[in-house]
Amino acid sequence: MRYLILSDIHANWEALQAVRAHVRRKRFDRVVFLGDAVGYGASPNRVLDWLRSQGDNLITVRGNHDRVCAGLDSAEHFNRYARQAAEWTLNCLEERNLEFLKSFLGGPVELEEGVAACHGSSVDEDAYIFSAYDAQLAFAATPQSLILFGHTHVPSLFMLREDNGKQTLKVRLLTGRRLVLDLDPENRYLINPGSVGQPRDRDPRAGYAILDSSQRRIYLYRVTYRTSVTRRRILNAGLPPVLGDRLLYGA
Ligand code: ZN
């Protein structure tokens, strides 16, 4: 099975369009979305319309912004920019998209035997996986050998290897325009494909991945899009300017 893996789109239509153009000639059977469709960006309805249009081909987990922007959770843990954006989003969501957003379920979900998807961590959908310790907790919480996650907006890999009862954990940041990783069946992996709509690794390009589960291979890509157009739309919508500015730097 081949999966298109998208995460953290954050209502950035231009970034999603660039990814859609990039995958046009690539083959995939399913779309897996790791959460945070909305929040921060100016195009929540367009992004949700597109996700909805994937129908039964879409497997999704909810993100913290999805919950708050759908009015299912309070914004008290958000900084003031995220809170402003969440209020703006809830106000402008069309009814069918609000219902769709509310239907997102918390992870982890199993895509097939041995492969799971979650937003933050398999131990807690709101937890971040930045460190080896965070990764240990996530590995311990689920049995799968590959766990896809988002939430940090940083393309990264954690690899757990067991040799004669001794565990070693490797951490790697995944950079560059195209990266191919072969997954060793002896190891376990946590992989973040990066963020489509708000990268935070100082690379402003949209990030996504394609997983070929039968080949045990994952392809990671970064795609250029016109960040200045997205920034302008954020300003025109009356959203906090910082949410547009950060896209120019991938920060
Ligand atoms: Zn996010």
Please tell me which residue, 180 or 164, carries the higher pLDDT value. Answer: 180
**143 alpha carbon – ligand 1 mean position (Å):** 25
Among candidates 150, 209, 141, 181, which has minimal Cα distance to 10? 150
For residues 148, 153, 154, 160, the Cα torsion angle rounded to the nearest 10 degrees is -30
pLDDT number for residue 103: 97
**212 alpha carbon – ligand 1 mean position (Å):** 24
* Mean pLDDT across 39-68: 98
**10 alpha carbon – ligand 1 mean position (Å):** 7
Considering the chain, what is the average pLDDT of its residues?
Answer: 97
**193 alpha carbon – ligand 1 mean position (Å):** 12
**Structure confidence at residue 165 as a pLDDT band (50, 70, 90):** confident
For residues 31, 32, 38, 44, the Cα torsion angle rounded to the nearest 10 degrees is 10
**55 alpha carbon – ligand 1 mean position (Å):** 23
pLDDT number for residue 85: 98
| pLDDT of residue 104 exceeding 90 | yes
How far is residue 190's CA from residue 135's CA, in Å, rounded to a whole number? 7
Query: What digits encode the pLDDT tens for the residues 113-151?
Result: 999 999 999 999 999 999 999 999 999 999 999 999 999
**Structure confidence at residue 110 as a pLDDT band (50, 70, 90):** very high
pLDDT number for residue 122: 96
Percent of the chain with pLDDT over 70: 100
| pLDDT of residue 96 exceeding 90 | yes
| pLDDT of residue 228 exceeding 90 | yes
Global pTM value? 0.97
List, as one string, the DSSP characters of the chain. -EEEEE---TT-HHHHHHHHHHTTTS--SEEEE-S--SSSSS-HHHHHHHHHHTGGGEEEB--HHHHHHTTSS-STTS-HHHHHHHHHHHHH--HHHHHHHHTPBPS-EEEETTEEE-SS-SS-TT----SHHHHHHHHHH---SEEE--SS---EEEEEEEETTEEEEEEEE--SSEEEEEPPTTSEEEEE---SS---SS--SEEEEEEETTTTEEEEEEE---HHHHHHHHHHTT--THHHHHHHHT-
